[in-house]
Amino acid sequence: MNVEVINTGTELLLGNVTNTHLTFLGQELFPLGLRIDRQVCVPDGPAIREALADAFPRADVVLVTGGLGPTSDDLTRDIAAELLGLPLVDDPAILDHLRAYFERIKRPMQPSIARQAQVPRGAAVIDNHHGTAPGLYLPPTALAGGGWSPHVFLLPGPPRELRPMFSKQVAPMLAELLPQEGPRRECRIYRAVGIGESQVEALVGPALTAMDGLEIGYCARIGEVDLRCIGTADLLDRVEAVVLPALGSYLLASGGESLEAAVVRQLRHSGQTLSVAESCTGGLLANRLTNVPGASNVFVAGLTTYTDRAKAALLGVDAGLLAKEGAVSAPVAAAMATGALLATKSHFSLATTGEAGPESGGGRPVGTLFIALAAAGGGEPVVEDYCFPMDRPGFKQRASQLALDLLRRHLQAKA
């Protein structure tokens, strides 16, 4: 089935609002055996009519988001009804729901709100439990110029309304519409860290491209690469037999597990704890770790010691060492990790210090980075050094990625 998505809203094209619908809908559709074949984003107004008319001859399913509200720029319902030659009729049940909603929140119901109770004749109403605008399903309809329209779903624009509506109501409706066409294709994602996408392809590409019916894709981000494989379950089992040994220690997990989630999982499995001492990453390490559910079981503390004074006061880094070596140095990185370990009584500590740029403040080249890992009872800290001249956010992301991967590799070696 050909699925097309039309996102409406001038605010999306002006950049005032981030369009997250494509990501969500793509992830929801794939388990159903569906993929988005085309997506367009159009402003409020006549462009909605053009986008719908353009999609109708190609698509089997059209998902439209936005434009179902009560204001003058909410035209999706009216335009869809006009294109399909369907009159709008009042739905008493929707109107009762709207009145009850405004009574519950103790606000007056403006007359324009009643527009949301208008439904194209023959449409099925999709209840909105998180807002006022109901969704609508318009089944295939004979078109005036010949042919039939696709299955059309009109959905509210706000994600807090669209997402539960789609997951709980639209997805089951789509599942019933699907033809039964042989084995369902699945997607497996293998995330590798510390290796480039060309290296990943060199390791696995020749064997995978020889497998008939397999779709392969590579997606590189800072410090990691996703290998995406789509095929039947049997075929993907053959893929796994190639990928796991080929990527070895570079591989996080299948299913797209994040690096920070892998570290938290490994620490929980071993019953060990972690603290971090950050300079150049400015708290990003702690932020990434604490975004992972269950991090409270393993993460003890994050110390962001951005100045020499803070490094000395909070981590016990010797002032003489700072003066002699400079804050961006291997000895200071090691001292930061040791200080965090002693201060927090954790099993491991990570430390980062570097020159994020755009200008160097300590005489070292912009992009210089030192990462240290200290382990309780493990002797001298391990220190790694790199140089990645790039923008500050990118440098911080790269530094946090390398630090987490240093610990991941250590835990994996000890497992």
pLDDT over 80 at 2, yes or no: yes
Tokens representing residue 152 in the block: 């059309």
Q: Rounded to whole angstroms, how far apart are CA atoms 263 and 269?
A: 10
**What are the tens digits of pLDDT across the range 286-299?**
999 999 999 999 99
| Mean pLDDT, residues 216-227 taken together | 91
Is-contact 259 289, C-beta < 8 A?
no
- Within 10 angstroms of residue 185's Cβ, the number of other Cβ atoms is 17
CA distances in angstroms from 93 to 98, 117, 164, 182, 215, listed in the order given: 9, 8, 21, 41, 47
pLDDT at 208: 96
| All structural domains of the chain | 3-177 (3.40.980.10), 186-257 (3.30.70.2860), 260-414 (3.90.950.20)
pLDDT at 101: 85
Q: Which of 329, 351, 327 is nearest to 341 (CA)?
A: 351
Between 102-111, 213-222, 241-250, 296-305, the lowest mean confidence (pLDDT) is in: 102-111
Q: Rounded to whole angstroms, how far apart are CA atoms 337 and 407?
A: 12
Q: For residue 363, name the pLDDT band (cuts at 50, 70, 90).
A: confident
pLDDT at 381: 97
How far does CA 406 lie from the centroid of its chain?
24
Q: Which of 194, 226, 203 is nearest to 407 (CA)?
A: 194
Q: For residue 378, name the pLDDT band (cuts at 50, 70, 90).
A: confident
pLDDT at 88: 93
pLDDT at 179: 74
pLDDT over 70 at 235, yes or no: yes
Tokens representing residue 238 in the block: 């053959």
| Mean pLDDT, residues 255-261 taken together | 85
CA distances in angstroms from 207 to 226, 241, 247, listed in the order given: 17, 11, 13
pLDDT at 360: 75
pLDDT at 254: 59
Between 96-105, 136-145, 204-213, the lowest mean confidence (pLDDT) is in: 96-105
**What are the tens digits of pLDDT across the range 26-46?**
999 998 889 999 999 999 989
Burial of 364 (0-12, 13-18, 19+ CB in 10 A): middle
pLDDT at 72: 87
304 Cβ contact list (under 8 Å, min separation 6): 278, 279, 282, 283, 286, 310
| Mean pLDDT, residues 325-346 taken together | 97
Evaluate if pTM is beyond 0.85.
Answer: no
Q: Rounded to whole angstroms, how far apart are CA atoms 146 and 85?
A: 12
Helix axes 330-344, 308-315, angle to 10 degrees: 40
What does the H/E/C string look like for the chain? CCEEEEEECHHHHHCCCCCCHHHHHHHHHHHHCCCEEEEEEECCCHHHHHHHHHHCCCCCEEEEECCCCCCCCCCHHHHHHHHHCCCEEECHHHHHHHHHHHHHHCCCCCHHHHHHHEEECCCEEECCCCCCCCEEEECCCECCCCCECCEEEEECCCHHHHHHHHHHHHHHHHHHHCCCCCCCCEEEEEEEECCCHHHHHHHHHHHHHCCCCCEEEEEEECCEEEEEEEECHHHHHHHHHHHHHHHHHHEEEECCCCHHHHHHHHHHHHCCCEEEEECCCCCHHHHHHHCCCCHHHCEEEEEECCCHHHHHHHHCCCHHHHHHHCCCCHHHHHHHHHHHHHHHCCCEEEEEEECCCCCCCCCCCCCEEEEEEEECCCCCCEEEEEECCCCHHHHHHHHHHHHHHHHHHHHHHHC
Q: For residue 199, name the pLDDT band (cuts at 50, 70, 90).
A: very high
Is the link from the previous residue into 358 a cis peptide, with omega within 30 of 0? Answer: yes
Residue 250: CA atoms inside 13 Å, Cβ hemisphere, count?
22
Residue 355 has phi, psi (to 5 degrees) of -105, 100
pLDDT at 414: 83
**Dihedral angle sign, alpha carbons of residues 405, 409, 414, 415:** positive
Between 96-105, 164-173, 294-303, the lowest mean confidence (pLDDT) is in: 96-105
Is-contact 336 264, C-beta < 8 A?
no
pLDDT at 146: 86
| Mean pLDDT, residues 149-157 taken together | 96
